[in-house]
Structure 1
Amino acid sequence: MSSEISSPFAFPAPGKGAALEEDTLLSPRFDANGLITCVAVDAVTGEVLMLAHMNAQALALTIETGEAHYFSRSRGKLWKKGETSGHTQKVREMRIDCDQDAVVIKVEMGGTGAACHTGRRSCFYRTIPLGAAPSAELKLAFTGDAPRFDPAAVYGKDGHGHDH
């Protein structure tokens, strides 16, 4: 993976109030760790596929290349989605929220179409039951989204390819 941006790029400092919310200048508000939250959704169906984080370099690479790049908090490094698994994300549209501290990318999945390291299409494959008081026994329900690939075969014996 090329982790180099063709031209060095620094995002401008975020504005305040209306300048931040109504201006056309991209000035992302990175958190104290230098990250911005990113939600990836299917470009056609709108299905939520995953939530990850981007640092300035990942955001710039995503904008420049049209391929999703993220910053792994657990590994402390930049990664291009699908670099290991082949399950790339071609960005079709990118939006930033009103105060520029989160982005949504509409993507076209490559490979088997699985966005999750568990082999499933979406990282959001379990539901939380509503209407009961939360307790230590609260059980999640699977949505029926079966794995599309074997994580152990793709990521190695532990099958752990969690990048976000």
Structure 2
Amino acid sequence: MIALDDLFQKSDLIPVIIQDAETGEVLMLGFTKKEAVELTLKTKTAWFWSRSRQKLWNKGESSGHFLHVKKIVTDCDTDTLLYLCTPEGPTCHTGARSCFFNMIWEEKP
């Protein structure tokens, strides 16, 4: 197990990737601080740091579309987190299941 302090040695703000625990689909990317991770561990729902509002937020607090966290892992450099979640409704604020739906490029066979 990695200590939370070890995650935030390089920066007090790190990225967190949200992935559907059942399907593996990438749902969103957010940013987190140590306090947000502590709240995530306590509530078992995903908390983030809003860079635009400069405050903590619990995904789903206004929409009801919570992300129920099932597992948390870090990358090999311990500077990015991956939350495996069960989403309660759409993840994106647009109403889409995932925040990743704007096609930029796709290789054609």
Normalization by structure 2: what TM-score?
A: 0.89
Q: 2:101 aligns to what?
A: 125
2:7 aligned counterpart, secondary structure: coil
Q: Percent identity?
A: 42
Aligned length in residues: 105
Q: 2:26 aligns to what?
A: 48
* 1:44 maps to amino acid: E
Which one scores higher on RCO, CA 8 angstroms, separation ≥ 6? 2
Report whether the alignment pairs 1:29 with 2:45.
Answer: no
1:51 aligned counterpart, secondary structure: strand
CA shift in 2, pair 1:116/1:47, >3 Å: same
Q: Tell me, which stretches of 5 or more residues in structure 2 are unaligned?
A: none
The 5-angstrom pairing of residues 13-162 of structure 1 reads 24-26=1-3, 27-29=6-8, 31-32=10-11, 34-110=12-88, 113-130=89-106
Misfit runs of 4+, over 2 Å: 29-32
1:127 aligned counterpart, secondary structure: coil
Q: After superposition, what is the alpha-carbon deviation per residue over 1:63-91, rounded to whole angstroms, capped at 9, x for unaligned?
A: 22211000000000000010000000100
Shift in Å at residue 25 of structure 1? 3.3
Q: After superposition, what is the alpha-carbon deviation per residue over 1:17-70, rounded to whole angstroms, capped at 9, x for unaligned?
A: xxxxxxx432103554x2110000101000000000001110111122211000
- Tell me the distance in 2 between the aligned counterparts of 1:116 and 1:84: 13
CA shift in 2, pair 1:130/1:120, >3 Å: closer
CA shift in 2, pair 1:122/1:30, >3 Å: farther
Q: Tell me, which stretches of 5 or more residues in structure 1 are unaligned?
A: 1-23, 132-164
More strand by share: 2
Q: After superposition, what is the alpha-carbon deviation per residue over 1:102-150, rounded to whole angstroms, capped at 9, x for unaligned?
A: 000010111xx2100111000001121257xxxxxxxxxxxxxxxxxxx
8 Å contact 2:8–2:34 — kept in the other structure? no
